[in-house]
Amino acid sequence: MSLNASLFFTSAGSDCETPQTTFDALNEEFHFQLDVCATRESAKCSEYLGVSDDALAVPWHGPAFMNPPYGRKIGKWLRKAYEESKLGITVVCLIPSRTDTAWWHDYVMKAREIRFIRGRLHFNGHRYGAPFPSVIVVFGAKP
β-sheet bridge partners, residue 34? 64
Confidence of residue 41 (pLDDT cuts 50, 70, 90): confident
Pick from 5-9, 94-98, 103-107, 125-129 the range whose average pLDDT is largest.
103-107
- Rg over CA atoms, the chain: 15
pLDDT at 63 over 60: yes
What domains can be seen in the chain, in order of their start residue?
Answer: 14-139 (3.40.50.150)
Share above pLDDT 70 across residues of the chain, in percent, rounded to a whole number? 79
Mean per-residue pLDDT over the chain, rounded: 84
Can you tell me whether residue 88 is helix, strand or coil?
A: coil
How far is residue 47's CA from residue 49's CA, in Å, rounded to a whole number? 7
Centre a 10 Å sphere on the Cβ of residue 131 and count the other Cβ atoms it contains.
12
CA 54 to chain centre: 16
How far is residue 46's CA from residue 31's CA, in Å, rounded to a whole number? 12
Can you tell me whether residue 48 is helix, strand or coil?
A: strand
pLDDT in tens, 71-114: 889 999 999 999 999 999 999 999 998 999 999 999 999 999 99
Who has greater pLDDT, 49 or 129?
49
pTM equals 0.83
Q: 101: which DSSP letter?
A: S
Is the C-alpha dihedral spanning 28, 34, 38, 41 positive or negative?
positive
Tell which residue, 118, 126, 124, has the closest CA to residue 136.
118
How far is residue 28's CA from residue 49's CA, in Å, rounded to a whole number? 21
Contact 111, 135 (CB under 8 A): no
